[in-house]
Amino acid sequence: METKQPKLIVKDLKKIYEDKCALNSVSFDVKEGEFLSILGPSGCGKTTILRILIGLLDATSGTIIKDGVDITNAPASSRGMGIVFQNYALFENMTVLGNVEYALKIRKETKAVARERALSMIERMGLSEHINKKPGELSGGQQQRVAIARTMILNPEIILFDEPMSALDVATRISLRKEIKDIQKEFGTTMIYITHDQEEAFAMSDRLMVMKEANIEQIDTPENIIDHPANEYVQSFVIDNLQAKINSLVKYLR
């Protein structure tokens, strides 16, 4: 693993809007099959990175290299990436099946093949009994599973998650967490996951990237971040917050 070149290399990525800097020359890389979380408060530039990576937004400068190929200017659909949005963005007028097989149909896959692949993906996501329901009839967790299935059906090498659980309740979050990790292992998919929840980031990630005001503060494994926080900010935003959460519970766990 160590000798392999990174799946994704991001170099000096910069995004400047008319009056403000959203991303200040960030560089990082992601290994094949790795789960990388991007953690930071709202407005720190997390979502900007994600949108540039997938091609929904143009960077002001910088390069993105995937498998040794420069994809900075490639169209979103040919980057081999998928994205799962915060509010699912499902096609409300279509059934679960319709949502999942839509991309295949448009890509001129034969009807039978599209159907078969969609059905097996839906089964994999545990949605078989809901196959003919519309998104409005599903719970939030189920909707998010449909969104994941819709993304997975195109076999992306990298999946980007934009705070996918922020609208869900705690129990659903915890079960969906496990499911996403399972998918990562099963398919060997590289995942980049945005969250502002420290606990979620620590529970899921191989590595963590802590951001603040358009800059990367630290990028490392959860263990190393706990042991060697890079600066005051990482100490207070990540470690102290986690500690506070633990302290508030620990008195009940005698």
Partner 1 sequence: MKKIRKFASAHKLNATKVLLICVFAALVLIPLVRMLTNINGESLKSVLSQESFLSLISNSLVATALSTLTVLILAYVLAICVERTNIKGKEILNILLVLPMLIPSISHGMGLVVMFGNNGLITRILGFGGNIYGLQGIILGSVMYAFPVAYLMIADVLKYQDCSPYQAADILGIPKWRQFTSITLPYLRKPLISVTLAVFTMIITDYGVPLMVGGMYKTLPVVLYQEIIGQLNFEKGSVYGLILLIPAVIGFIFDVLNKDKGNSTFVSGKMLIKKNKLRDGAAYIFCGCICFFLMLPIIVFGILAFSKRYPSDISFTIKNISDALRLNAGTYMLNSVKIAILVAVIGVVLAFVTAYLTSRAKTKMSKALHLFAITSAAVPGVVLGLSYILTFKGSFIYGTLAILIMANIIHFISSPYLMMYNSLSKLNENLENVGKTIGVSRFRIIIDVIIPQCKLTLMEMFSYFFVNSMMTISAVSFLSTTKTKPVALMINQFEAQMQLEEAAVVSLAILLVNLLIKGIVALIKKISTKKKVSVFTEEAM
End-to-end CA distance of the chain: 42
55 belongs to the binding site for partner 1 (CB under 8 A): yes
Nearest to 25 by CA among 60, 53, 68, 66: 60
β-sheet with 21-30: strand ranges across: 21-30, 8-16, 61-66, 69-70
Positive or negative, the CA dihedral 84, 119, 100, 110 is positive
Burial of 109 (0-12, 13-18, 19+ CB in 10 A): middle
164 in contact with partner 1 (CB under 8 A): no
Q: Rounded to whole angstroms, how far apart are CA atoms 148 and 141?
A: 11
68 near partner 1, judged by CB under 8 A: no
89 binding partner 1? (CB under 8 A): yes
Min dist CB 21 to partner 1, Å, is 21
Binding of partner 1 by 97 (CB under 8 A): no
Residue 54 interacting with partner 1 (CB under 8 A)? yes
Looking at beta carbons only, is 54 or 234 nearer to partner 1? Answer: 54
Quick one: which segment of 83-91, 116-124, 199-207, 229-237 binds partner 1 (CB under 8 A)?
83-91
* CB contact at 8 A, 76 and 56: yes
Q: Which residue lies nearer to partner 1 by CB, 100 or 214?
A: 100
Q: For 144-200, what is the HEC assignment?
A: HHHHHHHHHCCCCCEEEEECCCCCCCHHHHHHHHHHHHHHHHHHCCEEEEEECCHHH
Number of residues that bind partner 1 (CB under 8 A): 32
**What's phi and psi for 144, nearest 5 deg?**
-65, -35
* Least separation in angstroms between CB 167 and partner 1: 12
Window 142-161: contact mask with partner 1 (x via CB under 8 A): --------xx--x-------
Token pair in block for residue 81: 């990436």
Site string for partner 1, 7-46 (x = CB under 8 A): ----------------------------------------
Q: Give residues 182-241 in contact with partner 1 (rule: CB under 8 A).
A: none
Interface ranges with partner 1 (CB under 8 A): 54-56, 58, 73-78, 81-83, 85, 87-94, 102-103, 106-107, 134, 136-137, 150-151, 154
